[in-house]
Structure formats: structure tokens, C-alpha cells
Amino acid sequence: MSNKLVKGIALGAVAGAALSMLDRSTRETTTKKVKHFVIDVQYFAYNPEELIDKIQSTTSRAQSMYKTFMHDKDFYLEKINEIQELTPQVKDIVIETKEVFAAGIEKEKNTPASESVIHL
């Protein structure tokens, strides 16, 4: 059964590729890309040291990006942990501030209007 599945998938891919080649712009683009690929393969076949240099350069950049990402990840995780630790403290401060303001407003409501006027 899996053998038929693989054959069916392969035939579907071939049929899809063939149908997409009916479009002129797809055909032209594909032809250009294949020609550039063949030229690149031929060039690197005659200059394998450049291919090796290019692979090493790409690998080095990828490793550098990975190291940077890991460093940044550690920094951000540390900051997230700090925020999580501070959140309950900030919540308590906000609740206390709200209570103090509410008490001040209640006190203002209960004091007579003549006391709250400032005379110069």
C-alpha cells in the first residue's frame, strides 16, 4: 500500500509540474533558474575551493547568529524572570496607593466645605 502511495504522490507531483509548465511566464522563469543553477554547478566544479569558502562563510555566519540569539535569549529570559518577581510587589504598591487615595477622598467628603477653603 505504501508503495502505491509513494507512486501516486510522485505521479501527482510530475503532473502538477507539467501543468504548471503550460504557463509561459512559469516556463521562462524555470528555464532561467535552471540555467543559472547549471552555470553555478559548472563554476563550482572547476573551483571547489570557492565552494568550500562559501560554505564555511555561511556556516560561520549561521553560528554567529545562533550565538547572538542564545545570548539575547538568556538576557530576555532573565528580564522576564525579574518582571515576574516584581509583579506581585507592584500589585501591592498599586493597591496601597489606591487605598490611600480612597481614604483621602473619603476624608475630603466628610470635612465641611469651609475647612477645605484656603484663606490668604
Q: Work out the mean pLDDT of the chain and round it to a whole number.
A: 86
- Asked if the model's pLDDT at residue 56 lies above 60, the reply is yes
Please give the pLDDT value at position 62.
95
Domain of 77, in residue numbers = 24-85
Cell numbers placing 94: 498599586
The more confidently predicted of residues 40 and 88 is 40
Residue 64 lies in a domain: yes
Residue 95 lies in a domain: no
- Asked if the model's pLDDT at residue 115 lies above 60, the reply is no
Helix, strand and coil percent figures for the chain, each rounded to 5: 90, 0, 10
As for how many domains the chain has, the answer is 1
Residue 58 lies in a domain: yes
Residue 91 lies in a domain: no
Please give the pLDDT value at position 53.
95
Residue 108 lies in a domain: no
Please give the pLDDT value at position 99.
83
Residue 68 lies in a domain: yes
Cell numbers placing 87: 509583579
Number of residues in the chain: 120
- Asked if the model's pLDDT at residue 14 lies above 90, the reply is yes
